[in-house]
Amino acid sequence: MGTTLDGKALFDEQELEIQIGSWERIRIERAVPGLDGIVSIDLGRRSRRIRQRGTLRAVGGIEMASRFNAIEALCDGDTHTLVTAEGRSYANVRVDALKQLGREVAGAGIAVAYEIVYTQLGE
């Protein structure tokens, strides 16, 4: 099983790397005159960043544009589900950015290195 986004196999598994960031916690800290220390109020867990790097391969420019367009269509502000090749599922994931890092033409094929930045809004 490969990595999918909303059940769609959009990525090549070769050279695919997914980095899961830690959850961000929000808090309010206040000092009170006349007392030593501070009061810290934990407002809970918020979101975390997920970064995916890999390489997309295609036979020609039209096929590569089609692959990028399919991923770019998911940069829509909605939440999606990312499932890794190992079967780990990340729900409530918003696709924030798709960046092309490099392009290489090799024979009849094209290879494009990319990075996708997600924000997981909650579990």
Give the number of domains in the chain: 1
The helix/strand/coil state of 73 is: coil
Q: What is the DSSP-derived secondary structure letter of residue 37? A: S
pLDDT score at 91? 94
Model confidence pLDDT, tens digit, residues 75-102: 999 999 999 989 899 999 999 999 999 8
The range of the structural domain enclosing residue 48 comes to 4-120
C-alpha 108/C-alpha 60 separation (Å) is 7
Whether the predicted model's global pTM rises above the 0.95 cut: no
Residue type, 117: V
Q: In the predicted model, is pLDDT for residue 123 greater than 90?
A: no
The helix/strand/coil state of 65 is: helix
C-alpha 13/C-alpha 10 separation (Å) is 10
Mean pLDDT for all residues in the chain: 90
Q: What are phi and psi of 40, to 5 degrees?
A: -115, 120
- The CATH number given to whatever domain includes residue 48 is 2.40.30.200
C-alpha 97/C-alpha 71 separation (Å) is 10
